[in-house]
């Protein structure tokens, strides 16, 4: 019998996520331009905005409204908000609903000092009673699906994701995403999936696993080890925007689609063009190029030198020039040194 791994999950009848692969919220990355790129490539069942301060959103702040902008074709999309005041968060959720979001999500994962200092993000994990009040208020404020995303706890000695997940479910959260790291581990630590598996056992709503899912093997391993309904992918999607298609294929027992260097060059350049369109100021566009390049270029052959060149670039044109040169160089080298046939073929010929 082939093993049956889930390929979709149902939040409610009007929100079925298929494939069950979700783009994680990432500040300064998952804006409308990046999400368009992910949607065009395909394989992603739902996208998230980056976290948006509920206070600014509820005031109708221009920056916050811009962050919440999405294309109609992008659905389903979740608007994620953060804060620590139940009334303000409820108002932020209401605005997200008015903007037409498919779902609204509460951030309980952000490790940044700025956010945690005001008891927002992952600092909420230390205050279960406040979590209950926030979830209750947000749930009551909207009729669209309401979800939460969290880390596994504040620090390894105080992992309380199961407790928080139970509270969130009891107060009406309809799906729960869990990043296996605690707040104190930031982006390091040893990958542990037991807490995610425990959350999956503890609640009846769909659970998404998050953290270091970067390809088909890590995706299948996570699904098998945790029994979750779906996967949420962050940095792996910046490094390899085709990762959703690769995992979707694997879930159906198919081989990964082949993405050659010409396709990577085309996508990277088209994406940088789109960034320039969005960020009319050259400096802001260059800043975004650099942020994306740190990850994307890891997926390009001999990319280390290109990464350094882009990080040193003074203008977007200079960075784009380096990309052209790099891919031209790869083409020239491929013509001069055609790939060696596999050993078995060499032996036969």
Ligand X SMILES: Cc1cc2nc3c(=O)[nH]c(=O)nc-3n(C[C@H](O)[C@H](O)[C@H](O)COP(=O)(O)O)c2cc1C
User: Which are the catalytic amino acids?
Assistant: 110
Q: Is 109 in the site for ligand X (CB under 6 A)?
A: yes
- State which residue has the least CB distance to ligand X: 234
Nearer to ligand X, 47 or 265 (CB): 47
- For residue 178, the minimal CB distance to ligand X (Å) is 9
Token pair 């040893």 is found at 190
- Does position 210 interact with ligand X (CB under 6 A)? The reply is yes
Contact flag: residue 208 with ligand X (CB under 6 A): no
Q: Does 27 bind ligand X (CB under 6 A)?
A: yes
Q: If binding is defined by CB under 6 A, does position 149 make contact with ligand X? A: yes
For residue 293, give every residue at least 6 positions away whose Cβ sits within 8 Å of its Cβ, in sequence order, or none: 306, 307, 310, 311, 319
Q: Which of residues 248-277 bind ligand X (CB under 6 A)?
A: none
Reference 196, options 155, 151, 142, 236; nearest CA is: 151
- Residues 188, 177: Cα–Cα separation, whole Å: 19
* Phi, psi values for residue 297, rounded to 5°: -75, -15
Given candidates 36, 39, 94, 235, which one binds ligand X under the rule CB under 6 A?
A: 235
3-class DSSP assignment, residue 181 = coil
User: 28-47: which residues touch ligand X (CB under 6 A)?
Assistant: 28-29
Say how far apart CA 81 and CA 326 lie, in whole Å. Answer: 39
Query: Which one of 24, 104, 123, 285 is in contact with ligand X (CB under 6 A)?
Result: 24
- Least Å distance, CB 11 to ligand X, is 17
Residue 211: half-sphere exposure toward Cβ, Cα within 13 Å: 27
Task: Choose which of 35, 36, 179, 239 interacts with ligand X (CB under 6 A).
Answer: 179
Residues 110-129 that bind ligand X (CB under 6 A): 110
Residue 80 in the binding site for ligand X (CB under 6 A): yes
Please pick, from the candidates 135, 207, 213, 285, the single residue that binds ligand X as defined by CB under 6 A.
213
**Closest to ligand X by CB, 231 or 320:** 231
38 vs 330, which CB is nearer to ligand X?
38
Distance CA 12, CA 173 (A): 12
# residues near ligand X by CB under 6 A:
22
Q: Which helix (H) or strand (E) holds 305?
A: helix 303-312
Contact (CB, 8 A) for 293 and 286 = no
Please provide the size of the chain in residues: 349
Radius of gyration of the chain (CA): 21
Cis bond before residue 76 (omega within 30° of 0): yes
Q: For ligand X, which stretch binds (CB under 6 A), given 37-45, 189-197, 204-212, 304-312?
A: 204-212
Minimum Å distance from CB 214 to ligand X? 7
* Closest among 41, 45, 47 to 26, alpha carbons compared: 47
Q: Which residues bind ligand X (CB under 6 A)?
A: 24-29, 50-51, 80, 107, 109-110, 149, 179, 210-213, 233-236
């Amino acid at each position: 019998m082939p093993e049956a791994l889930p390929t979709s999950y149902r939040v409610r009848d009007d929100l079925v996520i298929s494939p069950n692969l979700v783009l994680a919220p990432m500040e300064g990355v998952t804006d409308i331009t990046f999400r368009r790129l992910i949607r065009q490539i395909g394989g992603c069942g739902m996208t998230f905005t980056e976290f948006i301060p509920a206070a600014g959103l509820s005031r109708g702040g221009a920056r916050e409204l811009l962050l919440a902008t999405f294309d109609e074709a992008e659905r389903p999309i979740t608007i994620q908000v953060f804060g620590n005041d139940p009334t303000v968060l409820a108002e932020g959720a209401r605005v997200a609903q008015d903007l037409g979001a498919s779902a609204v999500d509460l951030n309980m994962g952000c490790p940044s000092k700025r956010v945690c200092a005001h008891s927002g993000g992952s600092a909420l994990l230390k205050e279960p009673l406040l979590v209950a009040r926030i979830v209750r208020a947000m749930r009551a404020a909207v009729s669209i699906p309401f979800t939460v995303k969290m880390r596994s706890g504040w620090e390894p000695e105080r992992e309380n994701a199961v407790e928080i997940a139970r509270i969130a479910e009891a107060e009406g959260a309809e799906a729960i995403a869990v990043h296996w790291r605690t707040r104190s581990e930031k982006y390091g630590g040893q990958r542990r999936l037991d807490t995610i598996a425990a959350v999956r056992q503890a609640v009846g709503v769909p659970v998404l696993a998050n953290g270091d899912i970067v390809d088909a093997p890590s995706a299948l391993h996570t699904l098998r080890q945790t029994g979750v309904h779906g996967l949420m992918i962050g940095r792996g999607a910046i490094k390899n925007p085709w990762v959703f298609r690769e995992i979707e294929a694997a879930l159906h027992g198919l081989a990964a689609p082949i993405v050659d260097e010409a396709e990577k060059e085309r996508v990277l350049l088209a994406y940088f063009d789109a960034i320039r369109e969005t960020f009319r100021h050259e400096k802001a566009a260059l800043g975004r190029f650099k942020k994306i390049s740190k990850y994307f270029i890891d997926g390009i052959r001999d990319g280390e030198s290109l990464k350094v060149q882009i990080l040193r670039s003074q203008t977007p044109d200079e960075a784009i020039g380096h990309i052209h040169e790099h891919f031209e160089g790869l083409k020239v080298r491929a013509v001069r040194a055609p790939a060696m046939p596999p050993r078995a073929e060499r032996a036969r010929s």
